[in-house]
Amino acid sequence: MNKFNFLAVAFFITGIISPIADRAEVIGDRSLNNPNTQQTTTSISIAQNSREGRNPTPGTGNRRQENRFRRINNNLFNTPPIPNTSQLQTTRGAVADQEQDWKKDYEDYIKTSFSNPLMSSKAISETLSTIEKKTGKKSAVVYLIPKPKQLEIILVTSRNKPVSKSIQAANRDALLKISQQFKTEISDLRRVDTTSYLASAQQLYQWLIAPIEKELKAENIDTLVFCVGVGLRSVPFAALHDGKKFLVENYSISLIPAFSLTDTRYTDIRDFSVLAMGASQFKDLAPLPAVPIELSTIVRDKGGTSFLNDKFTLENLRSQRQQQSYKIIHLATHGVFQPGAVNNSYIQLWNTKLHLNQLRQLQLNNPPVDLLVLSACKTALGDEQAELGFSGLALEAGVKSAMGSLWNVSDAGTLVLMTEFYQYLKTSPVKAEALRQTQIRMLKGQIKIEQGQLRQTGLRTGTPLPPELSQLGDLDLSHPYYWAGFTMIGSPW
């Protein structure tokens, strides 16, 4: 036996007799990132001592010897890291606490109780695993919890144990200040020729995404499901920027009120037709001249039936649903999410306002609607109640997924996005991925309005626009004002 092997065995035996206290502590710092249930007898005894609140007997060697022991032990026996049980339990408990708290937030806002059982982090992981098998998409749930002194991030995936990060620089005041600045800059039509949003977009990326970027890449995550706290529910996550790319260039994205309140049953809707309804003229709201083209194009491309203006009534919507169980409902009209009680927010029909607390009367959950699209929304950015209304849209309507815009995007921009979105919805098995591909084409300038026509890459001829829009001239729709506000709400799948 050479000298190196002799020392290695000696150190190992010493470790069995007198475990080193900080071994469990050091490895515990990495445990959430590198979980593994296969442990040596020595590791188990140390972990048990830690769980029971007893400190192992301190080692007699100095720090250099202890570090050498770790290296030699790992080299000889390839011992995997020890999960820090107390830290892991704390993280799992934080997931349960947030699910409970945010469920109550929406119950208080909507003035109803949801019977959905609370899901543990383990149950969430199992659900993500099931969805991955059905869709091929590797998803992660990202909890963003603003607190007075720090931002808490919890990452739940299908494979590893939950990961918890604490970002001291992103205390609640600092985070909400930058968040509001980002939303103000990016939603201002007067700034579409600038990149004034970029500084705040990159700062938010460093706080919200960069701390978990390593874990996301290690698991090849391609879909992010954001479950977030007050002040973050109206953040256009798609436009966060890492210095080179927008977040949407790397991930499909959705926003949920709580995982326990999300209908995660997967259905492939590529072959489903659309019930498309809308209005182009209103008594006290701005006209939407592109709506007639929007409805006709969607039905032409995806199949279904459309109804315009005086045919866009609550009675006709119910009647059409009784005649055919449409899985996709598209409403090309104003959706207004305002401060205050839930009945302050509404969807404008031809002859009436459908308030959010009346959405359940449509019984869109029987039979279940997979996707409800509102193509012209406006949200009071930064207001807690308005954000609850927007982020809870799928929940309030009783549908699996909803799609809406955070700010009132130009009529031309909305037409472009919706037309392209339904093209991708014919081929993509995942709704959020169809939106992602649409947004990428817009940000790369592959869809434009030129000479009074909508021009798309791959099509020889353009789609003529109505006179009200053709007068706008040529439009470059690559600025995130035109595409980043559109958000998938509820299940991204």
Residue 215 belongs to a domain: yes
pLDDT at 38 over 60: no
Does position 45 have pLDDT exceeding 80, yes or no?
no
Is 269 among the domain residues?
Answer: no
Q: Can you give the pLDDT at residue 87? A: 64
- pLDDT tens profile 217-230: 999 999 999 999 99
**Which residue among 232, 261, 290 closes a domain?**
261
133-172 burial, b for 16+ CB within 10 Å, e for fewer?
Answer: eebebbbbbbbbbbeeebbbbbbbbbebbbbbeebeebbb
What CATH number is associated with residue 373?
3.40.50.360
Least confident of 93-97, 238-242, 457-461: 457-461
- Among 83, 109, 144, where does a domain finish? 83
pLDDT tens for 184-201 read: 999 999 999 999 999 999
Calculate mean pLDDT across residues 72-79: 39
Whether residues 380 and 483 share a domain: the answer is yes
Average pLDDT over residues 342-354: 96
Q: Are residues 338 and 464 part of one domain?
A: yes
Domain extent, residue 228, equals 88-261
Residue 363 domain-assigned (yes or no): yes
Q: What is the pLDDT of residue 233?
A: 97
- pLDDT, one tens digit per residue, over 275-302 is 999 999 999 899 999 999 999 999 998 9
Using a pLDDT cut of 70, give the percent of the chain over it. Answer: 80
Averaged over 49-71, what is the pLDDT?
Answer: 39
Calculate mean pLDDT across residues 344-352.
Answer: 96
Q: Specify whether 441 is located in the same domain as 293.
A: yes
Residue 330 lies in a domain: yes
pLDDT tops 70 at residue 81: no
Asked, for residue 355, whether it belongs to a domain, the answer is yes
Per-residue pLDDT tens over the stretch 401-426? 999 999 999 888 899 999 999 999 99
pLDDT of residue 470: 67
Residues 192 and 212 in one domain: yes
Lowest mean pLDDT across 78-87, 158-167, 173-182, 272-281 = 78-87
> Is the domain of 190 the same as that of 239?
yes
pLDDT of residue 14: 42
Read off the pLDDT of residues 444-489 as tens digits, 9 standing for 90 and up.
Answer: 998 878 777 777 666 677 777 777 776 767 788 999 999 999 999 9
- The pLDDT value recorded for residue 69 is 40
Establish if 267 belongs to a structural domain. no
State the chain's mean pLDDT as an integer. Answer: 84
Task: Decide if pLDDT at 82 tops 60.
Answer: no
pTM of the model: 0.81
Does residue 329 have a pLDDT over 80?
yes
C-alpha span between 62 and 245 (Å, rounded): 47
Could you tell me the CATH number of the domain that includes residue 248?
3.30.420
Co-location of 12 and 137 in the same domain? no
If asked whether residues 438 and 362 sit together in one domain, one would say yes
Question: Looking at residue 468, what is its pLDDT?
Answer: 74
Whether residues 449 and 405 share a domain: the answer is yes
In the predicted structure, residue 40 carries a pLDDT above the cut 80: no
* Number of domains present in the structure of the chain: 3
Domain end call among 49, 83, 117: 83
Per-residue pLDDT at 447? 85
Whether residue 202 has pLDDT greater than 60 = yes
pLDDT at 85: 57
Domain shared by 55 and 119, yes or no:
no
| 143-166 average pLDDT score | 96
Question: Looking at the domain assignment, is residue 266 inside a domain?
Answer: no
Same domain, 319 and 217: no
Are 218 and 367 contained in the same domain? no
Q: Is residue 268 part of a domain?
A: no
**Same-domain pairing of 154 and 20:** no
Q: What is the pLDDT of residues 112-141, one digit of tens each?
A: 999 999 999 999 999 999 999 999 999 999
- More confident site: 294 or 49: 294
